[in-house]
Amino acid sequence: AQSVTQPDIHITVSEGASLELRCNYSYGATPYLFWYVQSPGQGLQLLLKYFSGDTLVQGIKGFEAEFKRSQSSFNLRKPSVHWSDAAEYFCAVGPSGGYQKVTFGIGTKLQVIP
């Protein structure tokens, strides 16, 4: 069965510092991979997605993620964090042909300090 691990439940970074949120997945073939962001009291918003091709994908709000098959990872990065990036971030994995089986990680809550 597919699964997603987000090893960091909480992360605190200073505004302007770089950010990397970790995501490891378990899946037998090439997966579809996603990162979502959730602001307090809001629904989730898709940040970026990987299906195939270039392993470095760009998303909204200045985020990027790199798919590393050898490490089963899809880490999210941002070179300079803004206070508005404080939110909860979810990694998700789904099979390439399965519309119903997207599995989410438990989330990483990001705190940004001035």
Partner 1 sequence: DAGITQSPRHKVTETGTPVTLRCHQTENHRYMYWYRQDPGHGLRLIHYSYGVKDTDKGEVSDGYSVSRSKTEDFLLTLESATSSQTSVYFCAISEGQGKANYGYTFGSGTRLTVV
- Using CB under 8 A as the binding rule, whether residue 99 contacts partner 1 is answered as yes
- Using CB under 8 A as the binding rule, whether residue 7 contacts partner 1 is answered as no
Q: Which residues, including other chains, have CB under 8 Å from residue 66's CB and lie 6 or more apart?
A: 55, 56, 57, 73, 74, 75, 77
Binding mask 48-87 for partner 1 (x = CB under 8 A): -x-x------------------------------------
The CB-of-85 to partner 1 minimum distance in angstroms stands at 19
CB nearer partner 1, residue 78 or residue 107 = 107
- Using CB under 8 A as the binding rule, whether residue 102 contacts partner 1 is answered as yes
Give the residue among 109, 112, 113 at the shortest CA–CA distance from 38: 109
CB nearer partner 1, residue 45 or residue 84 = 45
**DSSP string of 38-64, one letter each residue:** E-TTS-EEEEEEE-SS-SEEE-GGG-E
CB atoms within 10 A of CB 65: 26
CB nearer partner 1, residue 14 or residue 101 = 101
